[in-house]
Amino acid sequence: MNTRAYAAMDAASPLVPYQFDRRELRSDDVQIEILYCGVCHSDLHQARNEWGGSMYPMVPGHEIIGRVTKTGAAVTKFKIGDTVGVGVIVDSCSHCKNCKAGYEQYCEEGATGTYNALERDGVTVTQGGYASQIVTKESFVLRVSDNLDLKAVAPLLCAGITTWSPLRFAQVGPGKKVGIIGLGGLGHMGVKFAVSLGADVTVISTSQSKEADARKLGATGFLNSRDKEQMKAHAGTFDVLLDCVSANHDYTWYLNLLALNGRMMVVGLPTEAPKVQPFSLINNRRSITGSMIGSIQETQEMLDYCAKHNIVSDIELIPIQQINEAYERMLKGDVRYRFVIDLSTL
């Protein structure tokens, strides 16, 4: 079915209007009219082939909010008119031990990305949410509450679950002292969740100018990581650090902030291998743990939690025609804190 979109045609050119055909519905598919799509930093990385392996033409976007317009014959969870979301993955093998355990994001055969990936047939390239519609397997579609501001829900499908999953894994709650490293698209959601879960939250940033925003989001503390004296004064005081920084940085500088059995949860993706001083790990029995998005079940739990507690992302809504400008602004950190595309402008 003919679909309007914006696509990267190569690694160097701006995104441009593009049309392509979505697959016809299979029995377990849901067809969705896309209302909003968040702009993730990984969209830019992949559109510009900064991670390698990009396939063109590429329609980015994996923070999708829309309404069901059609369902396959075997679909039971959704009906026409339902408000739904689609996140970072749209399929997995379903039979490996991780998939069977409900961790399809860690599929041993590789989960299928919403865009710039091959479907399970190994031939068809997936295309994402900078588009008028999408067709997705029912089991990878999520329920979304109409009680929330839908445009601000879109980033929850990536930035939200990427921070929610490690915070829950680390059992963040009352009595825990949590540091959120980096206050951007990921970090601002980390602050909101950690505060809502009852933790004592400090934002750790290289930008002193972000202190006011950090406190508005609910953080009780702010630590300028460029200030050596501040960092020394807070050494050994945090139970959990959530590292949301994708710029290259030295992990050791932050590891020293962790208390006994402290854990640094990494969700940012620097382009260069980070530095780690082994003595900073063995002191206080510290650990570094990576985390990648979350399972479909976790993502649904997060969306339900957000509906109950009225948690959404802080966004700037843009028409699709401003996507290239948004990419340039994103590189400069000129967004508070997530761009979201209004697809009615397509």
User: Splitting the chain (346 residues) into consecutive groups of 10 residues, what average pLDDT does each group show?
Assistant: 97 97 96 98 94 96 98 97 98 97 96 97 96 98 97 98 98 98 96 98 95 96 96 97 92 96 94 89 96 97 98 98 97 92 96
Residue type at 90 in one-letter notation = V
Instruction: Compute the CA torsion angle 50, 55, 61, 66 (nearest 10 deg).
Output: -170
Domain range summary for the chain, segments of one domain joined by +: 2-158+295-345, 160-290
Can 2-158+295-345 and 160-290 be said to share one CATH topology? Answer: no
Residue 136: per-residue pLDDT: 97
pTM reported for the whole predicted model: 0.95
Q: Please report, for residues 106, 133, 215, the alpha-carbon distance to residue 86 in angstroms, rounded to integers and kept in the order given.
A: 17, 11, 31
Cα(267)–Cα(163) distance, integer angstroms = 7
Superfamily assignment of 160-290 in CATH?
NAD(P)-binding Rossmann-like Domain (3.40.50.720)
CATH topology assigned to domain 2-158+295-345: Quinone Oxidoreductase; Chain A, domain 1 (3.90.180)
User: Is residue 305 within 8 Å of 198, Cβ to Cβ?
Assistant: no
Cα(69)–Cα(33) distance, integer angstroms = 6
Cα(67)–Cα(81) distance, integer angstroms = 6
Sign (positive or negative) of CA dihedral 339, 343, 344, 346:
positive
